[in-house]
Amino acid sequence: MDETPNAHELFLFLASTAHDMKNSISVLSGTLERLLVDASPRTESAYPQMAHMLYQTKRLNDNLMQLLALYKQVGTPAYPFDVQPLALGHLVDQVVSIERVLLQSRGIQLELDCDPQLIWHLDEDLVVGVLSHAVNNAVHYTCDRVRLAICEQDGWLELRVEDNGPGYPPALLRAGAIATRETAGGVNFLTNSTGLGLYFSSEVAKMHRHRGRHGTLRLENGGRYGGGCFILRLP
Amino acid sequence: MNAIATPLLSVTPASIDQVDWADKHYLVVDDFVGVRQLLRESLRSLGAKNIDQASSGGEAMGLLARVRYDVVLCDYNLGDGKNGQQVLEEARVRNLVNPSTVWLMVSAEKSVESVMGAAEHQPDAYLIKPITEGVLLSRLNRVWHRKQVFRLIDQACAEKDYLRAARLCDDQIAVDKVHELDLLRMKARLMERSGQPTRAREVYERVLAQREYQWARAGLAKIRLANGEFEQARQAFQGVIAENRYYIDAYDQLALSYQNMGKLEEACAILERAAKLSPNSVTRQRNLGHLALRLGNMQMAEKAFRKCIAIGEYSIMKTPDAYLGLARVCGQKNDPKEALQLLLLAQREFVHEHADIQLRAKITEGLVYHESGDYRRARKAGDDLDAMLKASAARPDIPTCLELATLLFAVGVKEAPVELLRYVIRNNHDNPLLLDEVQKIFDKARMGEEGLAMIRASKKEAADLMNQGVLLWKTGKLGEAVAWMRDARKAVPNNQRILFNAAQVMVSCLQQQGYDAALSAEAYEILHHVDHLLPGQQRFAQLMEQLAQLQPALEKGGVAAVA
């Protein structure tokens, strides 16, 4: 971090502004969720628009969270990274709690496939952030179904978010390959915010280390429904 | 599990008995009215009826003082005044919340303070905004379940029966995979508090065999530090920081390692870095101030002490040290006037909580004058101190006694410091490091030989006092032994060896002659006093366990409920 007093003041200013923006987004998404829960497509003519507003609000929140984490991270691994043991049931529970209203309002089914008792060691806030971001994306690409599947494979935890849409477009798969490759500096932020999300997710993957291995991220088409697959692997 | 869930799905994690959240009493603390309303709405949809709100730390304290809440949702960042952590600390220290109270700390982004091991008083969970209803419910259930697992362990801890608490941890570890690491961490801490570092080390090594957890590495390093292996401790703490530069506790411990190696510059630099990462700790700013003062870095000392006073304004953790330290800085900067103002302020602020504040303020006054070369006023302060010592039998803690004796010799007072050092030796006759320190103070006052003779005589006096009691006990004269140790305790009220032996004799008496409520209470009082003098001793844990086992069945709090 830059040590000049100016940089420190700027940091405090950004932090307090971010705090304020977070409050606003909290209220916005909370209010929308409440309205959606109380309404139904039959009684409320603006229901689809409200659902879309919620989707956009979540995108806004994801981007802000990712920017904040990355802003702090420039140059040094400065995010207060905190690994704890967590039962997968609790992990999935968090993602479902965050996404439930959005999925419902868009008429999308979420399929879960994991052993809730299995314990893994991870930074809960970051991984929940990555998974719910992936589900948000899947909401955009899917037809009517999203699958969250987590299983252990040869000492790795594989977390998959799959959908039954037409699959990721080639440009996105290319962006994914660039954002997630081993050497840093390959990110093309100019394309769109998807680049930010992928870069953030792959940084989160890399932060998770265990006995000389670190996490990875990849995008592909296929999976159970032949649509887009977002695959996070943690050691 | 492989089911297609409907949109209204729910994952049932780890078979939790669901809690009725409707009947609970809630407090919501946030400076942003929109967030308060939102959280209130979320709680209402869980069925909650009793929801109070506060928009500042001060307002929250007012409500906490009047109402016992089941759940507190508190924002970390509360604008001016107390922050969320300070509200939590004060509520816990003043016993305004029950052990069963669920405390959730809310923040806009992940804070340094939330990384395990940073603060002494931790909330039950940290939540990051935005918080939806579903997230809130699932976290409440999780915390509640965890509290059930730890209920009896926490109770045993509160009773300071650490060995019973450790056994309860073992029972849970065997059956609870989800909380295994939490329980192991707790057990390691209990072993440390019971003065059994070897067993604590085994627990940390068991954790590390599973996964590289920095708290376990730091735990091993702390054991090395306590063992006097300062260089190994230094390397280990540096390793922890290299792995996670936000593990703040490791910085404080690293500084301590350097300090023990006599490397004050390095210690100071480390604390400065830690204070930059996490500036709102009263203790850290105070330690930084003291180190900088010892190094003669007045600018840094002043900055740290001032910051310490500023944070302390809203914190229950504040102590007079920063005021006294800052007064020393003012003295060195040739501003005795401001120094005296600070001393007056400290006496006003702490008159209730710190019985020895007047004495300590006067010592600082003497030091300020002495260091600024005003020997006449320094001597006057010395005479005042002499009179204060004569007027009261109470003595401050050992470091203050040594500081006071040094000052009195320096300003030319002769008898009072000798008496004070006699008190120090009689109450610490088996602590060779301290005896060396006392000898040095005598040497500096050019009274080396008198000092040596006095140390020998006082040491023998205390040893005789103890040996006679132990002899009575070993020859089976239990009644006489108890009476003897009672008198010994009056003669040397702060001698840990004698206090432990007094408690030991009483426990034997209870074991052999049957339970007696008054004698048991007396033994507890003695043990709590020793624990206050020096926490974490093995004999304390052992005697506390033996005493607890002697209590009649009805009074064995919680034990019956285990079955």
Tens of pLDDT, residue by residue over A188-210, are 544 555 677 888 888 889 989 99
In one-letter notation, the amino acid at residue B237 is F
What's the start-to-end Cα distance of chain B, in Å?
A: 33
Contacts of residue B449, Cβ cutoff 8 Å, sequence gap at least 6: none
Nearest chain A alpha carbon to B5: A111
B300 CB contacts (<8 Å, ≥6 apart)?
A: B268, B272, B288, B289, B292
Q: What is the predicted pLDDT for the residue at B480? A: 94
Nearest CB among A61, A92, A109 relative to B130 is that of A61
User: Which of the residues B2, B6, B8, B9 would you substitute to probe the A interface, choosing the one with the greatest number of A C-beta atoms within 10 Å?
Assistant: B9
Give residue B70's pLDDT. 95
Q: Hey, what's the torsion of the CAs at B41, B42, B44, B47, to 10 degrees?
A: 170
Q: What single-letter amino acid sits at B57?
A: G
pLDDT of residue B101: 94
Which of A26, A100, A116 is opposite residue B134, by nearest beta carbon? A100
Amino acid at A223: G
CB contact under 8 A, A89 and B137: no
Q: Which superfamily does B25-150 belong to?
A: Response regulator (3.40.50.2300)
Residues of chain B in contact with residue A212, where contact means CB-CB under 8 angstroms, are none
Q: Which burial class, exposed, middle or buried, applies to B269 when counting CB atoms under 10 A from its CB (0-12, 13-18, 19+)?
A: middle
A145-153 and A109-113 beta bridge pairing = parallel
Within 8 A by CB and 6+ apart from A13, the residues are: none
Contact B9 A112 (CB under 8 A): yes
Asked if A34 is an interface residue toward chain B (Cβ–Cβ < 8 A), one would say: yes
Crossing angle for the helix pair A124-141 and A47-73, to the nearest 10 degrees:
140
Answer whether A82 touches B (CB < 8 Å): yes
A180 shares contact with chain B (CB less than 8 Å): no
- Chain B nearest-CA distance from A106, in A, is 10
- Cβ A151 vs Cβ A142: under 8 Å: no
Mutate which: A82, A86, A111, A209, vs B, most B CBs within 10 A: A82
Residue of B nearest to A26 (CA): B130
**Given this model, what pLDDT does residue A6 score?**
62
Domain boundaries, chain B: 25-150, 466-562
From the list A99, A149, A157, A97, the residue with the least C-alpha distance to A123 is A157
**What's the pLDDT at A4?**
52
Residues of A in contact with B137 (CB under 8 A): 97
Q: Using the beta-carbon criterion (under 8 Å), do B130 and A29 form an inter-chain contact?
A: yes
Distance CA B95, CA B64 (A): 10
The per-residue pLDDT for A7 is 63
Question: Each residue's pLDDT tens digit in chain B (563 positions)?
Answer: 333 343 333 334 444 457 889 999 999 999 999 889 999 999 998 999 999 999 999 999 999 999 999 999 999 989 888 999 999 999 999 999 998 899 999 988 777 776 655 567 889 999 988 888 888 999 999 999 999 999 999 999 989 999 999 999 999 999 998 999 999 999 999 999 999 999 999 999 999 999 999 999 999 999 999 888 999 999 999 999 998 888 888 999 999 999 999 999 999 999 999 998 888 888 999 999 999 999 999 999 999 999 999 989 899 888 999 999 999 999 998 899 999 999 999 999 999 888 899 999 999 999 999 988 899 999 999 999 999 999 998 899 999 999 999 999 999 998 999 999 999 999 999 888 899 999 999 999 999 999 999 999 999 999 999 999 999 999 999 999 999 999 999 999 999 999 999 999 999 999 999 999 999 999 999 999 999 998 889 999 999 999 999 988 755 444 433 33
- Kindly report, residue by residue over A109-146, the tens digit of the pLDDT: 999 999 999 999 999 999 998 999 899 989 988 999 99
ipTM of the complex: 0.81
Strand pairing partners for B362?
none
Size of interface A-B (CB pairs under 8 A): 150
Q: Which of A80, A92, A115 minimises the CB distance to B110?
A: A80
Query: Which long-range contacts (C-beta less than 8 Å, at least 24 apart) are formed by B282-288?
Result: B282/B308, B282/B311, B282/B312, B282/B315, B282/B317, B282/B318, B282/B319, B282/B322, B283/B317, B284/B252, B285/B311, B285/B322, B286/B319, B286/B321, B286/B322, B286/B325, B287/B252, B287/B255
> Who has greater pLDDT, B2 or A104?
A104
- Percent of all residues in chain A with a pLDDT value above 90, rounded to a whole number: 40
- The pLDDT of residue B1 is 38
Residue of A nearest to B36 (CA): A27
A12 in contact with chain B, both atoms CB, cutoff 8 A? no
In which band, very low, low, confident or very high, does the pLDDT at A80 lie, cut at 50, 70 and 90?
Answer: confident
Nearest neighbour of B1 by CB, restricted to A24, A116, A210 = A116
Residue A100 in contact with partner chain B when CB distance is under 8 A:
yes
| A30: nearest CB among B32, B132, B178 | B132
Does the distance separating the beta carbons of A76 and B3 come in below 8 Å?
no
Handedness of CA B294, B297, B302, B307 (dihedral sign): negative
Tell me, yes or no, if A40 comes closer than 8 A to chain B by beta carbon. no
Helices (H), B333-413: 336-350, 357-371, 375-391, 398-411
State the smallest CA–CA distance between residue A21 and chain B in angstroms. Answer: 9
What is the per-residue pLDDT for A26?
A: 84
Q: Mind telling me how many Å the CA of A58 is from chain B's nearest CA?
A: 10
- Helix (H/G/I), strand (E/B), else coil: A184: coil
CB contact under 8 Å between B13 and A82, yes or no, is no
- Quick: pLDDT tens for A10-43: 666 666 777 778 788 888 888 898 889 888 888 8
In A, minimum Cα distance to B37 occurs at A27
Q: Which residues of B touch A33 (CB under 8 A)?
A: 132-133
pLDDT at A171: 82
Q: What is the pLDDT of residue A174?
A: 82
Give yes or no for residue A147 having a pLDDT over 70: yes
Longest Cα–Cα distance in chain A:
58
Distance from CA of B127 to the nearest CA of A (A): 9
A111 Cβ under 8 Å from any chain B Cβ: yes
Q: What is the phi-psi region of residue B483: left when phi exceeds 0, alpha when psi lies from -120 to 50, beta otherwise?
A: alpha
CATH architecture of B466-562: Alpha Horseshoe (1.25)
Say how many C-beta atoms besides its own lie within 10 A of residue B140's C-beta.
21
Position A162 confidence tier, pLDDT thresholds 50, 70, 90: very high
Q: Note the pTM of the prediction, 2 decimals.
A: 0.84
Mutation target for A interface from B37, B38, B210: give the one with most A CBs within 10 A.
B38
pLDDT for residue A30: 87
Q: Does A98 touch chain B (CB under 8 A)?
A: yes
User: Which residues in B lie closer than 8 A to residue A107 (C-beta atoms)?
Assistant: 7
Does residue A24 sit at the B interface (CB-CB below 8 Å)?
yes
User: Residue B310: its pLDDT value, please?
Assistant: 92
With H, G, I as helix, E, B as strand and everything else as coil, classify residue B73. strand
